[in-house]
Amino acid sequence: MTRVFSGMQPTGDVHLGNLLGALQRWVHDQHTTDAIHCVVDLHALTVPQDPAALRDATLRLSQMFLAVGLDPDVCTVFVQSHVAEHSGLAWLMECTASIGELQRMTQFKDKGGRASFVSGGLLTYPALMAADILLYDTDEVPVGDDQRQHVELARDLAERFNSRYGPTFTVPRATFPKAGARVMDLQDPTSKMSKSAATASGTILVLDEPKVVERKIKRAVTDTESEVRFDVAAKPGVSNLLSILGGATGRTPEEAAAGYTQYGPLKADTAAAVVALLEPIQARFRELEADPAETQRLLAVGAAKARGTAAATLARAREHIGLLDA
């Protein structure tokens, strides 16, 4: 069975774009792949964090993973920092990567140029990401365009390490699965939905109450025409609503457009579909939220399962690179 690795940072509440664009696919694919899903809390440390807020965000994202349908009996769900081998292999990857490779990472150049404080971790975190992937003999890493460069670096580091020290790592490949719903900001449909958007009215959070969801969708930007059709270039607002409606009901945006001649019914049906999608997720999340010990137990099971593979990989890498056994 193909082994797949994916992770998500605990940096704010999960929104509809995360759900329709990635998490729904993770839930579906866990039944056809050997899936490993990780809350990558160490990556969040590349910028200063409030300790209590980071712990809370890590627990909440773990609970959201479970609430959307990731099944610990089917896939592996854990927190990155609970498996020390991630940090151990990251150092070997830092020593395998060149400074030039790390400096050329697009996200480092973008974020480093805007920040008043640039941590060393912001430069080296692609080496940690490579370690995340390589620890599990990963075959495939499903990514969007913004992460393509990091998976290519992981491939390069695996091949370089294997060439220098002998066969050690499975060389992963980036995959670009059929995209989930293309979810854009409801107030600025030319920009992706984001938890860091300038206005909260453009982003639907998975934990938003039904009335809030309905209000945000009712106020979504459309256009001055009245025709309902999927045309991202000419009608980005309407196309965004169709993507959301399609994603929430298991249809393509083109299929979702059938039968609509006015924006009002489209918005009403989109809101109803999103509310129906979110209600069972919210109910399950509240159950998990009320019993944090159960979440911790499930995460400990996942970490133990992950550590079994990660420890063997790190031991192999340490031996091949020439480190003396303890």
Q: Give me the active site residues, please.
A: 111, 192, 195
Residue with tokens 């309407």: 238
Buried/exposed 1-23: b ≥16 CB within 10 Å, e otherwise = eebbbbbbbbbeebbbbbbbbbb
What residues have CB less than 8 Å from 120, skipping those under 6 apart?
Answer: none
- State the Cα–Cα distance between residues 151 and 133, nearest whole angstrom: 8
- State the Cα–Cα distance between residues 207 and 300, nearest whole angstrom: 25
Q: Where are the alpha helices (DSSP H) in the chain?
A: 16-18, 24-29, 51-68, 85-96, 99-103, 106-114, 120-134, 148-165, 210-218, 236-249, 253-257, 263-290, 292-321
- Whether the CB-CB separation of 35 and 68 falls below 8 Å is answered with no
Token pair of 31, please? Answer: 């039944």
C-alpha distance from residue 212 to each of 208, 241, 323 (Å): 6, 16, 56
Kind of pairing between the strands at 3-8 and 34-39? parallel
At 300 the three-state DSSP class reads helix
Query: Helices 292-321 and 51-68 sit at what angle, rounded to 10 degrees?
Result: 100
Token pair of 39, please? Answer: 């809350």
Token pair of 313, please? Answer: 């990989």
Tell which residue, 88, 109, 92, 106, has the closest CA to residue 160. 92
